[in-house]
Every structure is written in structure tokens, then in C-alpha cells.
Amino acid sequence: MSAVDVGTAFNSYRDVVKVGFARFFLLFLQERCPALVISSIL
């Protein structure tokens, strides 16, 4: 694998982690205060 392949794989992995963390965070917020989540989305 070249350095570019490693960089691309790392970037996509980081994006997956970011999306997963954001989803988990939103679920956590929804349980704590759904009104705040709804108002922030709208």
C-alpha cells in the first residue's frame, strides 16, 4: 500500500467514527432532552 492509500483509508475511517459518534451523541441528547434536539434540528 502506498502512503496515499493509507491516507485515504484513514480519512474514511475517521469519517465513519465521526458519523457514529455524532449519531450516538444525538441519541444520548434525545433521551436527555428531546425538546432541545427537535428545536436544534428545526
**pLDDT digit string, tens, across residues 1-42:** 688 898 899 999 999 999 999 999 888 877 887 776 667 766
Q: Is the dihedral of CA 10, 15, 13, 5 positive or negative?
A: negative
Number of domains in the chain: 1
20-21-26-30 Cα dihedral, nearest 10 degrees: 100
Structural domain including 29 reads: 3-41
